[in-house]
Amino acid sequence: MDGHEWIKTRLAHIGTHALLKMLLVDNFIHADMHPGNILVRKKASRGGLFKTKKPHIVFLDVGMTAELSKNDRENLLDFFKAVALRDGRTAAERTLKLSRKQNCPNPEAFIEEVEEAFKFWGTAEGDLVHPADCMHELLEKVRRHRVNIDGNVCTVMVTTLVLEGWQRKLDPGYDVMHTLQTMVLKTDWAKSLSYTVDGLMAP
């Protein structure tokens, strides 16, 4: 993949919107989206459905999938909104609601630590930290404070981070977390992600 920058940029865009559609519109998420389960089709097949020179992504092996309950979905979306707004307290409170059986021994300590981290990320120095690295640090705080997160929710969060990892390699300038945050802040995100083949293609 050395060179071919136009293809890599398009793939970063297409992959992000595919995840957003799975998460925000379909509520049916491919939970094993590592590069070995992804094919890239560079040319349309003769007589095929897609009449375009733009690349297409083919997802394989949907043996691992995740669906979220209405409550989990609302909490996860509110979590991403809080991250977008740099609202550490709300992000921590929503994280604590991502399990039906929350056994965190000291929820207030977790909330305060997350709030402090968000305050740092809001400074000029903290703004240099990549959003995905902030997510990794937040999940480390989840582990250290023994915050429970239900399996399907955790799967979605990890899938988002896996996607972000290979998107960053394809196009270091493309910020999947920013795109996700922008979408969840829209008043009518479902309408904004109405699914057409052309809508998923990079400009």
Residue 195: is its pLDDT beyond 50?
no
The pTM for the full model equals 0.71
In the block, residue with structure tokens 């094993």: 32
From residue 183, give the alpha-carbon distance in Å to each of 53, 110, 111, 191, 193. 27, 27, 25, 11, 8
> Which pLDDT tens digit goes with each residue over 141-164?
999 999 999 888 888 887 777 777
Average pLDDT over the chain, rounded to an integer: 78
Listed in sequence order, the DSSP H helices in the chain are: 5-20, 70-84, 88-96, 107-121, 131-144, 151-170, 176-184, 189-192
In a 10 Å sphere around its CB, with 0-12 CB exposed, 13-18 middle and 19+ buried, how is residue 87 labelled?
middle
When mean pLDDT is compared across 1-15, 48-62, 182-196, the lowest value belongs to: 182-196
DSSP class of residue 129 equals S
Under 8 Å between Cβ of 146 and 113: no
